[in-house]
Every structure is written in structure tokens, then in C-alpha cells.
Amino acid sequence: MRAQVGQSSIEYLALVLLLAAILGLTAVVGAGAGIPQALAVQFARGLCIVRAGDCERDRAPCVVRASTATEGLALRIAVVRLRGGRTVLRERLSDGRVRVSVIARKGLGFGVLLGGGVSVGRLSAGARLEASALMRLGAGRSWTVAGERQADLLLVRLDRRDRRVRPRVGRGGRRRAGPPPDAVLSEGGLDTGLSAGLGRVGVALAIEDLRGVRTDRRTGERTLLLRRRTDLFADASLAGITATGGVSGAEQWALVTQARGRPLDLVVTTVHGLRGGVALPAPLAALAGRAGVRLRGGGLLERERHLDLTDPQNLAVAAAFVRSLRSAAPHRTGAVPSALLRRFARAGTEHVRLYRVERAARRTTGVDAGVGVGLGLTYDRAGEELQLVGAVVRDPVVGERRRTDCTR
């Protein structure tokens, strides 16, 4: 809940309402050990309202289920790399709403390939070693709708291509534009990768460094994002059986501001993931399915920390770091000042969520050949589904509690 306050009369009204809430709570609860904590909670929330802070952070809806579908096309001409793709993310929130995001991306860079190969689905042949670096640009849109049915209808209305490029045309030649998004995103950065393969064994390392800006069209709030992600993936095939596995890690820093630039929230998010699976021939896969054996799985642990920058003390401690974020200087966890980390621990709100990987699939088809130079074309499709299995929130006033509202 963020309100535009600042007038003394409005602050006075907020304090009056706060006093009424405290008195009402005291009358209902009565004498008991729970009164001091209840009073502290209401007092802290009232001060947050007066500062126009985010006063519902500890109660924010959780993402209880998420599905991601990504497709991309990569072209290699000599040492030049061209890449484009699209990602559709669907997230179901604990309050019943569904958030749908569509992100289109393109990249241009350089790479060196030694060897070559052919891959179709699970089958691959050849030997290769490749290193690449690409400048990447992306643009995204996001909608939040009332439920699953509305999300289905939205995805039907959205064309498989970006509507800004090719809007559909209805009867009478009228343009059938999709619904306006609730938020828009622009991002840019650098993707670097190293991959190697020999026969039916392969390994790949990918590092992503991105900077982006997300604008909420409903509130005018802007979020500056800096993210680094690292993925390590390996696969091997033998006698029709393919085993895959991977680990991933990501760090993201986000600065949320009002439309006029006033800092509201500082968010630090870390994610660690582990995935693995086995692909069997169709008869064996059907047998495993009837026996209830899961052939793919994994987990993802997300830690999200918030610091309310409408609090003058929090802002004073974070001021230097906020300036560095705005300057687009790259950061890692070790670069965060120790005083700011202590402030997060003392005054911040922390969410910890554990997700189970319900489904993960990846398919690559392409041809690539040459020594240093040559020609290649590759098409990738990947999908993943996550299910929330546990969530905990730690608040400086209330303490630590389980988010049973997210997992029931």
C-alpha cells in the first residue's frame, strides 16, 4: 500500500486512525501477553502508512505455481552470432490471480567454433568446442488477471508474435490489439557461454549479466534491475537413454522508485537451483509412468530481502549503494557494504521460498560445422513448471512465521 502523502493534515489523519486502531485492538484483545506485540505491529504499520511505504510487504501474495516456455533461433555466419527468441511466463499467485509475462529478445555477438555436429532431439553426433559473447536486448509486457480462465483467454488473444510487429486484423479491417499491459520491461546486457560436446556427451556453461527497467503503468512506479545468472548443464546418451542434469544460481538487485524518483524499496534476491532427469525409450517411459516413478525433478530455493527506503534511517544506510545501482556499476554480493547487510538483517523483511521442479524439458535441433568459421543454425525449445512447497517470512516486528496462506 503506497499512498501519496506528505501534507501535514494527511499525516495527522493517519496518526488519528492509527490511535483508533490501537485502542480498538486493545479493547478486543484485552489484557494478555499478546497485547505488546499486537500494539508494536499496529504502531509499526501506522508509521509505515505515514511514510507512504509498502506496508503489506510481509503479506504479499506468493507465486504458488509457475510455468515457463522459451523458444529461440540462433544463426552463425563465420564468427558472427545472431539470436532471437521469446519467453512466456505464467505465474499463479496465492490470492487466486494469475500474472502472464511475454518477453521478446534478440542478440548480436561473436563466437569461435572448433569442430561441428548435428543434433535432432535426443540424437547428436560430432565433436565441438565453442565460446561466444552476445550483446542482448529484450522487451517485455506483463498482465495480471483475476484467475486461470482469464489467463487462458488472454493467451488466446495474444498472437504468437509480438503484436507491436504484426497485430491481427479483425472484420472490416479493424486492428484487434491485445489488452494494454499492466507493466512493461526493457532490458539489455551481455550473454557469454562456453560449450563442449563429444558424440552424445555435452556440457555447457552460460553466464548472463543484465540491466533492465520495469514500469508499472497502473502506479507509475519504476524498478531498476541488475541481474547475474549462471547455469551449468550436462547431458549424456547411451542405448536410447538420456540423462541430464544442471545447477543454476542467480543474484538480482532491484531499486523501486516512485514515478518522480523517490526511493521506495531495495530488494536483493538470490536463487539456487538443481535439476536432473532421465529420458527413456517410449515403452520404458510408459511403464515408469504407470508405476508412478518420476523421471525428472529438482528444486529451487529463493531468498528475497526487502528494505523499506521510506524509512529515513534505512535510506541513510543504503544511500551510497542506491547511487551505485543507478550508475549501472556491476555488483556482486561481496560488494554490498557490511553496514547495509546488517541493516537488512535488523530492519528488512525476508521471504524464503522452496519450489519443486514438476517438469523440465529441453529440445535442440540444428546443424553447425566449421573450424573457427562456417555456418550454423540451431532451434531451441525449453519448458519448466515449478510448484511452491514451503514459504517463510521474517519481519522485524512480528518475527519469523510460515506462510501457510501460500501453501494451503
pTM for the complete prediction? 0.78
- Residue 24 and residue 121 share a domain: no
- Total number of domains constituting the chain: 2
- For residues 138 and 25, membership in a common domain is answered with no
pLDDT digits (tens, 9 = 90+) for 40-62: 555 555 655 555 556 666 788 99
The stretch 344-364 carries a mean pLDDT of: 85
pLDDT of residue 360: 66
Question: Are residues 257 and 403 located together in one domain of the fold?
Answer: yes
Closest C-alpha among 151, 136, 146, 150 to residue 66:
151
190 and 264 fall within a common domain: yes
Give the model's confidence band at 90: pLDDT under 50 very low, under 70 low, under 90 confident, else very high. very high
Q: Are strands 349-371 and 175-176 parallel, antiparallel or unpaired?
A: unpaired
Characterize 182-213 residue by residue with b for buried, 16 or more Cβ atoms within 10 angstroms of its Cβ, and e for exposed.
Answer: bbebebbbebebebbbeebebebebebbbbbe
**Are 385 and 264 in the same domain?**
yes
Indicate whether 12 pLDDT > 60.
no
- Domain shared by 395 and 310, yes or no: yes
272, 259 Cβ separation under 8 angstroms: no
Same domain, residue pair 47 and 65: no
Q: Identify which of 104-118, 172-186, 202-216 has the greatest average pLDDT.
A: 202-216
- Per-residue cell: 78: 563465420
Final residue in a domain of this structure, among 36, 52, 68? 52
Contact 93, 148 (CB under 8 A): no
pLDDT at residue 31 in the model: 46
Strands (E), 217-290: 222-238, 241-257, 263-279
- Residue 67 and residue 15 share a domain: no
Structure confidence at residue 343 as a pLDDT band (50, 70, 90): very high
- Domain of residue 354 covers 57-407
147 near 65, Cβ under 8 Å? no
**Rounded to whole angstroms, how far apart are CA atoms 256 and 102?**
21
Same domain, 317 and 193: yes
- What does the pLDDT look like over 124-153, one tens digit per residue? 555 677 788 989 999 999 999 999 999 999
**Helix crossing, 34-50 with 8-29: angle to 10°?**
160
Q: What is the DSSP string of 326-341?
A: HTT----GGGS-HHHH
Q: What's phi and psi for 358, nearest 5 deg? A: -80, -35
Q: What is the mean pLDDT of the chain?
A: 78
**Residue 220 pLDDT exceeds 60:** yes
Burial 37-53 (b: 16+ CB within 10 A, else e): ebeeebeebbbbbbbbb
The mean pLDDT of 169-175, rounded to a whole number, is 45
225 and 88, same domain (yes or no): yes
